Amino acid sequence: MGVFEEDDSVRVSTLVKLWVSEGFLRPMNGKSLETIAIEFLRDLVDRNLILVGKVGKTGNIKFVKIHDLLRDLCLNQSKKDGFYHVIGQSSPRGISSQRRVVVPRNAPKKKVLDDLQSMPRARSIISECGRVPRIKNSRLLRTLQAYPYFEDKRYVIKSLAQYVNLRHLAVEVGSISSIFTSFTRLWNLHILILCCWKVFTAPAEIWRMPQLRHIEMTGVRFYLPEPSSDDVVVMENLLVLKGIANFRCSEEVVKRIPNIKKLKIQYFGRGGIEQDDDYCVNNIRHLCKLESLYVRRHYGFIASLSVLTFPQSLKKLNLDMYGDFEWEKILEKIGALPLLEKFKLWEGCFGTGKWEMVEGQFPSLKHLQLFACPNLKQWTAESSSIFPRLEKLHLSDMRQLKEIPTQIGDIPTLQKISMKDCGESAVMCAKEIVEEQVELQGEDLPFHVQVWVQRKNEALVQNLAGPNFEVYALQY
């Protein structure tokens, strides 16, 4: 924790990946290293050694902080033990023997260059400023974390040939071809996070790297080639695959990633006429350990993806379907998922203008977000038992929506309804839900409603404001 800047909110996923790549964790009781890391983190939180910075919609810790006094203790102990060296600070043991190097955000460029050249035994470099010059004896390097960046935008790697022991690589690069030309040498790589603003395709050798646990690509487009049927490597350790363009979930791919938990994919038009079955998205249901799925359909992509199917293990689902994608074709399948806790639905359309819910759907859902579905006008429920575990409902840019199910107010777990830039009729419906519950339970309700409206409409709904109904003006 001491390697991060003072008062920083530290992303838990970044911390966990560093723990894994540094080799601090050991397998235990058949659990993944990531699961073990989260258990240790929660133990530190329970002991009040680590502070919770932000909790996700379903209760998972997303960011943590460390008290200034405890951070000082980390820094002092690291100096005493020679655990890591912060560039710009003194080191009682000298810097030549240091194995872990931290580059703070405001480190002078010349100081970074001079210090790193004096550290022939460096195993880990964690940079908060994005600047990491090439160092001597880089064959020893196991961790290179220079992303996300703050000042400089790119850590340009000319070749990875010398980084043969690298386990953790998280950088932004100018040219992706220079990364992949020597990719076959990185047999020890566990974490691969790359940001590149050019379209690129990974080499086929990526399917022969069984140590990989996390692949994440951001920037423009990252294409993943299909594995060859001649290869027999099963990537049992791979848990996260993010940023894949036009992902084809063939039977061969399903066999190669049996333990995948998080999958983030995007579909772009390629000038032809795509069909639903071109990408085998119905095979996603065979990823039986998948817990989190994000699918985005961009402008120009012709296929509707209406044949999407989902594994019963899914807990989080984020669907962003540009254009004329009809949600009626897929909502019944989504509502039947027994473990789904978080569901975000973006754009697309409702061909009938209605969403009619039936009893038994979404049994575990805690967080629901609807965003920019322009022709959804009526949202009704035929049963009083809907969303039995719902905690938060967020509606954004739903200007045509006239009503929301009044049964939502009866949900015992409900904590919050949030509405941004929605139609006046839907806002009035939310107000009626609050008034009805006030009559039944009194003003001390377990939930409240927050409404954001355009400034020109603020006066129309401001008189609705009350103890459980808050009205705000949008700033744009």
**Pairwise CA distance, residues 414 & 430, whole Å:** 13
pLDDT at 258 over 90: yes
Question: What are the tokens at 321?
Answer: 């379907």
Q: Which of 236, 239, 250, 242 is nearest to 218 (CA)?
A: 242
Contacts of 279 (CB under 8 A, 6+ apart): 246, 247, 248, 249, 267, 303, 305
In the prediction, which pLDDT does 151 show?
43
Alpha-carbon 274 to chain mean position: 28
pLDDT at 434 over 70: yes
Could you identify the residue written with the tokens 């008290």?
Answer: 67
Q: How far is CA 2 from CA 161, 364, 416, in A?
A: 31, 38, 36
Q: What is the 3-state secondary structure (H, E, C) of the chain?
A: CCCCCCCCCEEHHHHHHHHHHHCCCCCECCECHHHHHHHHHHHHHHCCCCEEEEECCCCCEEEEECCHHHHHHHHHHHHHHCCCEECCCCCCCCCCCCCEEEECCCCCHHHHHHHHHCCCCCCEEEECCCCCCCCCCHHHCCEEECCCCCCCCCCCCCCCCCCCCCCEEEEECCCCHHHHCCHHHCCCCCEEEEEECCCEECCHHHHHCCCCCEEEEEECCEECCCCCCCCCCCCCCCCEEEEEECCCCCHHHHHHCCCCCEEEEEECCCCCCCCHHHHCHHHHHHCCCCCEEEEEECCCCCCCCCCCCCCCCCCEEEEEEEEEEEHHHCHHHHHCCCCCCEEEEEEEECCCCEEEECCCCCCCCCEEEEECCCCCCEEEECCCCCCCCCCEEEEECCCCCCECCHHHHHCCCCCEEEEECCCHHHHHHHHHHHHHHHHHHCCCCCCEEEEEECHHHHHHHHCCCECCEEEEECCC
pLDDT at 156 over 90: no
In the prediction, which pLDDT does 153 show?
45
**Pairwise CA distance, residues 227 & 252, whole Å:** 7
In the prediction, which pLDDT does 126 show?
85
Question: What are the tokens at 387?
Answer: 């969303």
Region 329-358 average pLDDT = 90
Whole-model pTM: value is: 0.88
Contacts of 102 (CB under 8 A, 6+ apart): 3, 84, 85, 86, 87, 126, 127, 128
**Pairwise CA distance, residues 122 & 434, whole Å:** 60
Q: Which of 471, 412, 419, 420 is nearest to 447 (CA)?
A: 412
In the prediction, which pLDDT does 186 show?
80
For the chain, the structural domain boundaries read: 10-68, 342-476
Degrees to nearest 5, angle at CA 117 with 116 and 123: 55
In sequence order, what are the beta bridge partners of 169? 144, 192
Contacts of 13 (CB under 8 A, 6+ apart): none
Least confident residue range of 126-130, 237-241, 321-325, 436-440:
126-130
In the prediction, which pLDDT does 179 show?
67
Question: What are the tokens at 448?
Answer: 């409240």
- Residue with the bigger pLDDT between 303 and 395: it is 395
In the prediction, which pLDDT does 323 show?
74
pLDDT at 296 over 50: yes
Which one of 90-104, 153-167, 189-203 scores highest in mean pLDDT? 189-203
pLDDT in tens, 179-236: 666 677 788 889 988 887 778 888 888 888 889 999 998 877 888 888 887 777 899 9
**Pairwise CA distance, residues 86 & 6, whole Å:** 13
Q: How far is CA 87 from CA 95, 102, 109, 157, in A?
A: 9, 6, 10, 21
Within 10 Å of residue 145's Cβ, how many Cβ atoms?
Answer: 24
Average pLDDT score, the chain:
84
Which one of 92-101, 109-118, 151-160, 262-271 scores highest in mean pLDDT? 262-271
In the prediction, which pLDDT does 150 show?
41
pLDDT in tens, 362-415: 999 999 999 988 888 889 887 777 899 999 999 999 988 988 888 898 899 999
Region 56-63 average pLDDT = 84
Which sign does the torsion angle of CA 107, 113, 118, 123 carry? positive
pLDDT at 152 over 50: no
**Pairwise CA distance, residues 348 & 320, whole Å:** 7
Question: What are the tokens at 287?
Answer: 């990823």
- Residue with the bigger pLDDT between 265 and 144: it is 265
**Model confidence at 135, in pLDDT bands (50, 70, 90)?**
low
In the prediction, which pLDDT does 76 show?
86
